[in-house]
Amino acid sequence: MRLFRHSNRRGCLAYILGFVFLQAFQTEALAATWAQMTPAPKTIQLMVQMTDGTLLAQGYDGQTWMKLTPDASGSYVNGTWTILASGPVRRLYFASQVLPDGRFWLVGGEYTGPALQANWGATGEIYDPVTNTWISITPFPARTPNRCPTLSYVSGNLTSGSAVIDTVYPQTAGITVGWTVSGTGIPAGATVLSTTATTITMSAPATATRTASTVNFNHSYRLTSCVGDEPSALVPGGNILLGSLIDNGSWLYNVATDSWTQSGSKVYTNDRSDEEGWAKLPSGNIVNYDLFKSIDPAQDGSNLENGAYAEVYNPGSGTWSGISPSDGTAFGTIPQLSSPQVGYELGPVIRLQDGRILVIGANQHTGIYNPSTNTWAGGPDIIGTLTNSQGTVAAPFGADDAPAAIVPNGHVIFAADAAPAAVSTTGNITAGSAIVTNIPSTAGLQVGWGVSGTGIPSNTTIKSVDSPSQVTLSANATSTIASDPIRFGGTFSKPTQLFDFNPTTNSISALTPAIPDANLPNMAVYPTRMLTLPTGQVMFTDGGTQPWVYTPDGPANASLRPAINGLTYSGGGNFTLTGKQLNGQSAGAAYGDDDQMDTNYPLVRFTATDGSGKVYYGKTTNWSSLAVGGGLSSTQTVNVTLNPALTTPGTYAMTVIGAGIASLPMFVNITQAEINKQ
Residue 355 pLDDT level (bands cut at 50, 70, 90): very high
pLDDT at 182 over 60: yes
- For residue 27, the model assigns a pLDDT of 54
In the chain, the largest separation of any two C-alpha atoms, in whole Å, equals 88
Q: What is the per-residue DSSP string for 47-97?
A: EEE-TTS-EEEE-TTSS-EEEEE--TTS-STT-EEEE-PPPSS-EES-EEE
Contact 346, 274 (CB under 8 A): no
- For residue 430, the model assigns a pLDDT of 97
Look at 164 and 174; give whichever has higher pLDDT: 164
Residue 2 pLDDT level (bands cut at 50, 70, 90): very low
Residue 350 pLDDT level (bands cut at 50, 70, 90): very high
pLDDT at 21 over 50: no
pLDDT at 300 over 60: no
Count Cβ atoms below 10 Å from residue 388 Cβ, excluding itself: 17
Contact 335, 357 (CB under 8 A): no
Of the candidates 109, 66, 60, which has an alpha carbon nearest to the alpha carbon of residue 89? 109
pLDDT at 295 over 60: no
- For residue 298, the model assigns a pLDDT of 45
What are the angstrom distances between the C-alpha of 455 and each of 50, 461, 462, 479, 481? 53, 14, 15, 5, 8
Q: From CA 646, how far away is CA 667, in angstroms rounded?
A: 15
2-30+556-675, CATH topology level: Immunoglobulin-like (2.60.40)
Q: From CA 568, how far away is CA 575, in angstroms rounded?
A: 5
- For residue 143, the model assigns a pLDDT of 84
Q: From CA 109, how far away is CA 676, in angstroms rounded?
A: 43
pLDDT at 12 over 70: no
Residue 307 pLDDT level (bands cut at 50, 70, 90): low
- For residue 339, the model assigns a pLDDT of 87
Count Cβ atoms below 10 Å from residue 114 Cβ, excluding itself: 21
- For residue 190, the model assigns a pLDDT of 97
Contact 636, 583 (CB under 8 A): yes
Residue 16 pLDDT level (bands cut at 50, 70, 90): very low
Of the listed ranges 170-174, 447-451, 567-571, the least confidently predicted one is 170-174
Contact 107, 99 (CB under 8 A): no
Of the listed ranges 71-75, 340-344, 382-386, the least confidently predicted one is 340-344
- For residue 28, the model assigns a pLDDT of 58
pLDDT at 406 over 60: yes
Q: Whole-number mean pLDDT of the chain?
A: 92
Gyration radius (Cα) of the chain, Å:
27
Based on the number of CB atoms within 10 Å of its own CB, is 338 exposed (0-12), middle (13-18) or buried (19 or more)? buried
Q: From CA 181, how far away is CA 376, in angstroms rounded?
A: 54
